[in-house]
């Protein structure tokens, strides 16, 4: 079940990356903001490719954008399989996605911590990553939710609402 959840989550991640790309192009047409070459430069450094100042192939940007979006979608698939679904889970996933970007960009010395960015760039990045996280979440919840209600959902259904003293369901006899 977990491998299927990861695979379906990756499909959801690709859908989220497509949605993010569409909203970026709409925003760029309106604001005239140029493409960022940070994804391409990050991927080049991760692969150990030589620096080529001023020459950032558009293909590397797309490879990093869709590759990372697809791979990170696997995490959202796992969330959905564990019963972590809906807007709360997508909000948690947004933080995971932002963290993934920052680890790769800062570890390769291509990026800078977000708190050092101009506010406008930070808002734009948060907007687009939110689109990614919530579209990925909607798709993952639908694709993975068909597999099982997930252990978290089973637990929550025992007594609806936030209550103390409600533990996980008992394990079947002979299970570990």
pLDDT tens-digit profile of 63-113?
999 999 999 999 999 999 998 999 999 999 999 999 999 999 999 999 999
How does pLDDT run across 38-74, given as a tens digit for each residue? 998 999 999 998 877 766 677 888 999 999 999 999 9
Residues of the chain with pLDDT > 90: what percent?
68
> Has residue 120 been placed in a domain?
yes
Distances (CA, A) of 63 to 55, 70, 77, 108: 16, 10, 21, 17
pTM reported for the whole predicted model:
0.83
What is the mean pLDDT of the segment spanning 3-32?
96
Q: How many domains does the chain have?
A: 1
> Has residue 107 been placed in a domain?
yes
Domain with 86, as residue range(s), is: 2-158
Provide the 3-class DSSP secondary structure of residue 81.
Answer: helix
Tokens found for residue 77: 């698939």
């Amino acid at each position: 079940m977990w491998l299927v959840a990861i695979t379906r989550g990756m499909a959801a991640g690709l859908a989220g990356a497509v949605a993010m790309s569409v909203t970026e192009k709409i925003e760029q047409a309106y604001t005239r903001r140029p493409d960022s070459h940070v994804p391409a430069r990050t991927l080049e450094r991760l692969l150990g490719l030589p620096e080529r100042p001023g020459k950032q192939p558009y293909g590397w940007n797309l490879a990093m954008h869709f590759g990372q979006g697809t791979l990170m979608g696997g995490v959202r698939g796992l969330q959905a399989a564990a019963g972590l679904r809906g807007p709360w889970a997508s909000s948690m996933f947004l933080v995971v996605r932002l963290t993934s970007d920052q680890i790769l960009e800062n570890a390769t010395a291509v990026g800078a911590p977000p708190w050092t960015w101009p506010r406008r760039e930070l808002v734009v990045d948060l907007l687009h990553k939110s689109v990614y996280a919530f579209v990925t979440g909607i798709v993952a919840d639908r694709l993975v939710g068909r597999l099982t209600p997930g252990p978290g959902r089973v637990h929550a259904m025992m007594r609806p609402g936030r209550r103390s003293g409600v533990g996980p369901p008992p394990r079947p006899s002979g299970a570990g």
